[in-house]
């Protein structure tokens, strides 16, 4: 039996079934992460170890892609597509690659596998890759957005605004915006919502970490570089970090959903709109590092009773 402790807090591993993010462990210290919104969660139990204004919806930018990619994995799991499925790149997705303000990869071949596009979306944050995947699975991006909304509802996430599969502001998408949305709309969720999605992604489809732990990857002869500067070998590396996704827009600021192993625990952290991000490209990583330090210093998993043994 295992114990997750913050001085006096404990739970028994015999009851460690999958729980939704929601139970908060009380903390009485003065730690304040340098971000507008934040949360830290122990992934196997869903226990909230830290939160700061974590239930207020705000821009999530490219952190959107963890939901998009979750639905890709789900479609593969259901046999609707495979990693080798060839995806045709629509004019809409292709033309967006010409916009240097939107993260992307070259798509001159106009046809790529699902595996290539998932790597592009998660490593290089390629917006056109996310759109192409959405069109492949949903038929159109708008229909895929409906699928995203349905999945959130199934997880009891009711406060999110979803208007596209990439996380871009709608102003980038021209005439391709979701029906009923405006040309300036953008995806919005709370930090807690993002943590719930990340929890489902890494627990149901842990192979995603083989993708998100890459610092570089090949895309049809083009080398893609990660935006996750906390991976090994990157400027703000931290041992144990193997994902997950950055996000940046004017609305969202610089945000980051990370996952890391700390004291033997699988931790999910979310920081949104990191303080000072306009002048410091590492601000979100500094905030995440501080948050993970807080978790590591205050919590640990210990064995009380081995599986199959009685507790007396």
Q: Where are the domains of the chain?
A: 2-303
The full length of the chain comes to: 312
Catalytic residue check, 65? yes
Spot the catalytic one: 34, 90, 103, 125.
125
Indicate the class that CATH gives domain 2-303: alpha beta
Is the pLDDT confidence value at 292 over 80?
Answer: yes
- Burial of residue 229, with CB atoms counted within 10 A of its CB: 0-12 exposed, 13-18 middle, 19 or more buried: buried
Q: What does pTM read for this prediction? A: 0.91
Confidence of residue 244 (pLDDT cuts 50, 70, 90): very high
Spot the catalytic one: 6, 34, 47, 62.
62
Please tell me whether residue 107 adopts helix, strand or coil conformation: coil
Spot the catalytic one: 65, 245, 255, 269.
65
Place of tokens 């499925």: 85
**Could you give the percent of the chain with pLDDT greater than 70?**
88
What tokens does 102 get? 């939107």
d(CA 123, CA 212): 6
Strand pairing report for 111-113 and 188-189: unpaired
Report whether 4 contacts 245 (CB < 8 A): no
Residue 39: the pLDDT is 99
Sign of CA dihedral 211, 153, 164, 246: negative
Picking from 268, 121, 142, the residue whose alpha carbon sits closest to that of residue 193 is 268
């Amino acid at each position: 039996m295992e114990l997750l402790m913050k001085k006096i807090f404990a739970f028994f591993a015999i009851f460690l079934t999958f729980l939704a993010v929601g139970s908060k462990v009380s903390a009485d210290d003065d730690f304040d992460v340098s971000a507008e919104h934040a949360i830290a969660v122990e992934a196997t139990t869903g226990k909230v170890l830290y939160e700061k204004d974590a239930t207020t919806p705000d821009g999530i930018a490219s952190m959107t892609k963890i939901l998009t990619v979750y639905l890709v994995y789900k479609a593969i799991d259901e046999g609707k597509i495979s990693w080798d499925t060839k995806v045709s790149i629509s004019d809409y997705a292709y033309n967006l690659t010409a916009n240097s303000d939107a993260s992307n990869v070259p798509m001159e071949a106009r046809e790529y596998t699902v595996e290539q596009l998932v790597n592009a979306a998660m490593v290089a944050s390629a917006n056109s890759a996310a759109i192409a995947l959405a069109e492949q699975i949903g038929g159109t991006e708008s229909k895929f957005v409906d699928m995203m909304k349905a999945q959130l509802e199934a997880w009891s996430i009711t406060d999110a605004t979803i208007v596209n599969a990439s996380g871009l502001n709608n102003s980038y998408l021209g005439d391709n915006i979701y029906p009923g949305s405006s040309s300036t709309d953008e995806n919005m969720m709370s930090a807690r919502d993002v943590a719930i999605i990340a929890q489902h992604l890494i627990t149901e489809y842990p192979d995603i970490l083989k993708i998100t732990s890459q610092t570089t990857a090949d895309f049809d002869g083009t080398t893609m570089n990660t935006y996750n500067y906390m991976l090994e070998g990157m400027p703000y590396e931290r041992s144990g970090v193997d994902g997950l996704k950055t996000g940046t827009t004017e609305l969202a600021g610089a945000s980051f959903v990370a996952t890391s192993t700390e004291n033997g625990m699988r931790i999910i952290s979310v920081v949104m709109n990191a303080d000072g991000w306009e002048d410091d490209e590492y601000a979100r990583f500094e905030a995440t590092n501080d948050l993970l330090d807080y978790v590591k210093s205050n919590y640990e998993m210990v064995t009380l009773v081995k599986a199959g043994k009685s507790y007396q």
